[in-house]
Structure 1
Amino acid sequence: MTPSARLAAVSELLELLEESQSKADFVVSTYFRNRRFAGSKDRRWITEKFYMILRRRGELDGYLEFLGLPVSSRLRSIISLLAFDMFLLADIKSAYFSGPHALAPLEPEEEKLLKAWVTPMDVNLPESAVANLPDWIVQKIRVAYGDRADQILAAFKERAPATFRVNHQKSDVQKVLQQLQQEGIDAVSTDVSPVGVMLKSPRNLMQHALYQQGALDVQDEAAQIAAILAGAKSGQSVMDYCAGAGGKALAMADRMDNQGQIITLDIDKKRMRDIEPRSKRAGINCIETAVLPPAGSASDQLLSLVSTMDVVFVDAPCSGSGTWRRQPDQKWNFTQERLGELTELQKGIFEQASQYVKPGGTLVYATCSLLPEENQGQVEQFLKSHSEFKVISVRDRWSEVGLRREAPEGPYLQITPEQFGADGFFVALLQRQA
């Protein structure tokens, strides 16, 4: 594809996303499935530019407003070359507006206004535009994180690293790193998780033998840490409540050396459809799935599990604010009303899941959120009406389960994306008293 066709594809993807109710990754995969003529380098360039524009849409819209131009997918694509790739307007005109698949040429008024472009440093944008987040979220992060807020907000501009969990049923970290490095793939072990590898430059490993044979599974380091902190041991009974695609269940099964029982639950059977093939690829056979019935009802199977689980892991539905580097479209669609709905949902899930923990067992509450009302706020509210549960300090368990670096201060774990590259994530550990 020519540079013109690539940029036009980015603009088209942005338009399709605006018109769709689907998530960005689905829009991208559908787009390329219908355009198989695009080579791997074309797909990579288009995808990276598309996501970069979504991550930094606030700045781009601010620049367009500063220049007196309307906000559109086409102009966002063009001005991203000026603002972030440091192209001159003349170079953009010569390289990105030629050929049959190019964007429409600049209108005289557009060109006149774009010629007034100055460097980003000279444009005084509103705080929410600089942060590339809705203003109400910026204020929540400032209140919650104080002096650290600027670094957290800046981290959302960057691409999240590609991170994998090494499955010890098939290999180990050192063998995986050695093989990748021999193949010229620049990878390092993760900072905190002892079972992760991180690629230093973008690379799709989904067709690589290590992935296909089950030695690697896609999982951010924060999720690895959460699964390790659960403390699941060989032979135990574990419940993964709101399991989704089962990444944490697989991580816990590996920690358990595939010995014991893991029950994965979700209200939507389709969300769990990947658990079986992922388990087969990983050589894991201790996981079974069950569909959660509607709120207020329970199956005979679930009733028989009340007060029997050694570990119940609750990966609660949340804002996903910790993952907005990977899913930047989601931050622009998130509302205060939706946050209110989620906190009510989390409260109910917390309550429902807790009944399955046996005396002496562990209840793990986790989210991929940075917002306190979804995290410690939920835990503290739960504890007020559940005196049978006590907090297990994450700091006390840290070295016991083999996590690296210094343990966090305080009873809970709150990871933020500027710390060591992982997604934002929250973990609380509660023990049910005998």
Structure 2
Amino acid sequence: MRGPARLQEVIEILEDIRVAARDEGAAADAIVRRHFRGRRYIGAKDRAAIRDLVWRAIRHAGERPVSGRAALLGLLEAEDPKALALFDGSERAPAPPAPEEPRAPPSRAPAWLMPELAERFGPALEGELAALLGRAPLDIRVNRLAGRPVAEVAAALPCPSEPVRIAGIPLPDALRLPAGALGETHPLFATGVIAVQDAGSQLVAALAAARPGTEVVDLCAGAGGKTLALAAAMEGRGRILATDTDRKRLAALGPRAVRAGCLSMIETRLLDPGREPEQLADWRSRADLVLVDAPCSGSGTWRRHPELRWRLTPERLDRLVALQARLLRLGHRLVRPGGRLVYAVCSVLPREGQGVVTAFAAETGVPPAATLALSPGSHGCDGFFIASFDPPC
């Protein structure tokens, strides 16, 4: 494939990602996969080059660009101006850029978010933003239920790995590998021995401290990454109710639980938004542990999903904060007297973390027993805010 034709493919992909971000559509990686499925004629080398340009253009522009073409023009103008000559208007090539045509300017994050990010990181802002947009390593969790020691699993991997400690807390089931070092077709994935899970996410499950034989609610389970980590911590004994309002994501949990060897202890329940209290009435004041891994901006995962910066608007953030507050109150109602409530968001924005927890404590009179804020720059994992409560009620 000629260089100009590659650029046209990049522009089309970026435009699809931009529109999906505006309309809350498919994720960027899904769009890239869909694009290539419809163009089998594009070879592996060209696909790799196109992907690289797409992700570089997304990382370059912190604000959602006016077009996919503007996103690519901004990247090339900043990094490789000579490549603009490939916009030559030939067959399957982009037209030459006009002098007044918009180019996406370089930025780390949307301008309206910068004050909140500065509040969160202070003098370390620039370094933390650079880390948020860097390439993440590959963290895996060794499934205790598979019965294979971590050292044995590490020896079976095709590349060196290292143990992980986050905020001074060791994660005994975690191993860290270089980015892209292991594909999910490896037999250890297929047999449920390991799962991909960022160390920060593993720490959320570890701090939840689920115990064998207890009853647990994973209120926003999604595809079940933390559900499976909780089941492993419970040694396969007890009961987990995994709920979500997303049918497709929740449906993915069943096959994963089969591979992990814990299907019998997990019940899934699809909830209707706004009707959760009545649909969970049978669990009111019953759970030993409730984990509220609430939907959020995903700002802590920008190094994996930089297009999330294009999705976020002040209005969407306000809706997310209101939803987080509602789900935390719901989780509080499900905890039995003497039970434990854990709130987590994969966000570095104070409004979604400390702000939600402070408002909850003022409303309920239940202050957090502990809080922890994580970031890629300071802790080497995705950004998270985690709070634990030991409700007296």
Q: TM-score, normalised by structure 2?
A: 0.87
- Of 5, 20, 24 in structure 1, the residue corresponding to residue 28 of structure 2 is 24
- Of 323, 326, 348 in structure 2, the residue corresponding to residue 348 of structure 1 is 326
Give the distance between the partners of 1:242 and 1:168, measured in 2 at CA.
Answer: 23
Match of 2:94 in 1: 104
Report which stretch shifted further, 352-361 or 75-84.
75-84
Q: Structure 2: any 5+ residue segments left out of the alignment? A: none
- Of 374, 381, 385 in structure 2, the residue corresponding to residue 415 of structure 1 is 374
Q: Judge conservation of contact 2:10–2:53 (CA < 8 Å) in 1.
A: yes
Give the distance between the partners of 2:116 and 2:369, measured in 1 at CA.
Answer: 27
Measure how far apart 1:59 and its partner are: 9.5
- Of 108, 115, 125 in structure 2, the residue corresponding to residue 132 of structure 1 is 108
Give the distance between the partners of 1:156 and 1:367, measured in 2 at CA.
Answer: 15
- Of 59, 75, 80 in structure 2, the residue corresponding to residue 80 of structure 1 is 75
Query: Deviation per CA, 1:238-295, whole angstroms, max 9, x where unpaired?
Result: 1000111111010111111111111001123222010001101111121110122443
Measure how far apart 1:136 and its partner are: 1.4
Match of 2:177 in 1: 199
Q: Structure 1: any 5+ residue segments left out of the alignment? A: 62-70, 114-124, 394-411
Match of 2:269 in 1: 290
User: Partner letter of residue 30 of structure 1?
Assistant: R
Q: Write out aligned runs for 1:153-232 (5 A).
A: 153-170=129-146, 171-180=148-157, 183=158, 185-192=159-166, 193-203=171-181, 205-232=183-210
Measure how far apart 1:299 and its partner are: 4.8
Measure how far apart 1:60 and its partner are: 12
User: Partner letter of residue 225 of structure 1?
Assistant: L
Aligned CA distance change for structure 1 residues 267 and 16 (closer, same or farther; 3 Å): closer
Measure how far apart 1:297 and its partner are: 6.1
Give every structure 1 segment of 4 or more consecutive aligned residues whose post-TM-superposition deviation is greater than 6 Å: 96-99
Query: Deviation per CA, 1:124-164, whole angstroms, max 9, x where unpaired?
Result: x9xxx554211111111112321122221222331222322
* % identical aligned pairs: 36
Report which stretch shifted further, 190-199 or 262-271.
190-199
- Of 227, 237, 244 in structure 2, the residue corresponding to residue 266 of structure 1 is 244
**Larger Cα Rg: Structure 1 or Structure 2?**
1
User: Partner letter of residue 139 of structure 2?
Assistant: T
Measure how far apart 1:419 and its partner are: 2.0
Aligned CA distance change for structure 1 residues 293 and 56 (closer, same or farther; 3 Å): same
- Of 126, 140, 143 in structure 2, the residue corresponding to residue 150 of structure 1 is 126
Match of 2:258 in 1: 280
User: Partner letter of residue 58 of structure 2?
Assistant: L
User: Partner letter of residue 323 of structure 1?
Assistant: T
CA RMSD of aligned residues (A): 2.9
Aligned CA distance change for structure 1 residues 237 and 44 (closer, same or farther; 3 Å): farther
Which secondary structure state, in structure 2, belongs to the residue aligned with residue 391 of structure 1?
coil
Give the distance between the partners of 1:166 and 1:248, measured in 2 at CA.
Answer: 13
- Of 231, 238, 256 in structure 1, the residue corresponding to residue 234 of structure 2 is 256
- Of 392, 412, 417 in structure 1, the residue corresponding to residue 369 of structure 2 is 392
Match of 1:406 in 2: none
Aligned CA distance change for structure 1 residues 3 and 176 (closer, same or farther; 3 Å): farther
User: Partner letter of residue 164 of structure 1?
Assistant: I
Measure how far apart 1:425 and its partner are: 0.5
Which secondary structure state, in structure 2, belongs to the residue aligned with residue 350 of structure 1?
helix
Aligned CA distance change for structure 1 residues 58 and 275 (closer, same or farther; 3 Å): closer
Match of 2:389 in 1: 430
Which secondary structure state, in structure 2, belongs to the residue aligned with residue 17 of structure 1?
helix
User: Partner letter of residue 252 of structure 1?
Assistant: L
Q: Judge conservation of contact 1:4–1:97 (CA < 8 Å) in 2.
A: yes
Measure how far apart 1:78 and its partner are: 5.3
Match of 2:53 in 1: 49
Q: TM-score, normalised by structure 1?
A: 0.79
Aligned CA distance change for structure 1 residues 306 and 371 (closer, same or farther; 3 Å): same
